[in-house]
Structure 1
Amino acid sequence: MTVALHHVDEGPRDAPVIVLCGSLGSTVEMWSPQVEPLTERFRVIRVDHRGHGGSPVPPGPYTIADMAGDVLALLDSLGLDRVAYCGLSMGGCVGMHLASEAPERISALTLCCTSSYWPDPSVWVDRIAAVESGGTAPIAATIVSRWFTPSFADARPEVVAGAVGQVAMTPDDGYASCCAALRDFDHRPRLGAITAPTLVIAGSADPSTPVEPHARTIVEGIPGARLEVLDAAHLATIEQSEQAAELIAGNSTA
Structure 2
Amino acid sequence: MATTWYGVDEAPVDAPVLVLGNSVGTTQGMWTPLIPALAGRFRVLAVETRGHDGSEVPPGPYSLDELGADFLAVLDELRLESVYFAGLSLGGMIGMWLASTAPERIERLALVCTSAYMPPATGWIERAETVRARGTGAIAEAAAGRWFTAGFREREPDAVKAALMMLVSTPDEGYAGCCEAIAGMDLRAGLRRVTADTLVIAGADDPSAPPSHAEVIASEIPGARLQIVPDAAHLATLEQPEAIEALIVAHLEGSR
Classify 1:188/1:246 alpha carbon distance in 2 versus 1 (closer, same or farther; 3 Å).
Answer: same
Classify 1:233/1:197 alpha carbon distance in 2 versus 1 (closer, same or farther; 3 Å).
Answer: same
Q: CA deviation at 1:97?
A: 0.4
**Aligned mates of 1:182, 1:7 — CA distance in 2:** 25
Question: What does residue 230 of structure 1 align with?
Answer: 229
Q: CA deviation at 1:60?
A: 1.7
Question: What does residue 220 of structure 1 align with?
Answer: 219
3-state secondary structure, aligned to 1:6:
strand
2:158 equivalent to 1:166:
no
**Aligned mates of 2:32, 2:141 — CA distance in 1:** 20
**Aligned mates of 1:36, 1:184 — CA distance in 2:** 35
| CA offsets 1:151-183 (integer angstroms, 9 cap, x no match) | 112222121011111111110111110001000
**Aligned mates of 2:204, 2:49 — CA distance in 1:** 26
3-state secondary structure, aligned to 2:227:
strand
TM-score w.r.t. structure 1 length? 0.95
Identity score, percent: 47
**Aligned mates of 1:119, 1:41 — CA distance in 2:** 37
**Is residue 108–residue 253 contact of structure 1 (8 Å, CA) maintained in 2?**
no
Question: Tell me, which stretches of 5 or more residues in structure 2 are unaligned?
Answer: none
Q: CA deviation at 1:7?
A: 3.2
**Aligned mates of 2:8, 2:63 — CA distance in 1:** 25
Question: Tell me, which stretches of 5 or more residues in structure 1 are unaligned?
Answer: none
**Is residue 125–residue 183 contact of structure 1 (8 Å, CA) maintained in 2?**
yes
**Aligned mates of 2:172, 2:76 — CA distance in 1:** 29
2:199 equivalent to 1:199:
yes
Q: CA deviation at 1:8?
A: 4.2
Question: What does residue 185 of structure 2 align with?
Answer: 185
Question: What does residue 242 of structure 1 align with?
Answer: 242
**Is residue 18–residue 44 contact of structure 1 (8 Å, CA) maintained in 2?**
yes
3-state secondary structure, aligned to 2:147:
coil
Question: What does residue 42 of structure 1 align with?
Answer: 42
**Aligned mates of 1:87, 1:137 — CA distance in 2:** 24
TM-score w.r.t. structure 2 length? 0.94
**Is residue 92–residue 114 contact of structure 1 (8 Å, CA) maintained in 2?**
yes
Q: How many residue pairs were aligned? A: 252
Give the counterpart letter for 1:218 in structure 2.
Answer: I
Task: Give the alignment's Cα RMSD to 1 decimal.
Answer: 1.3
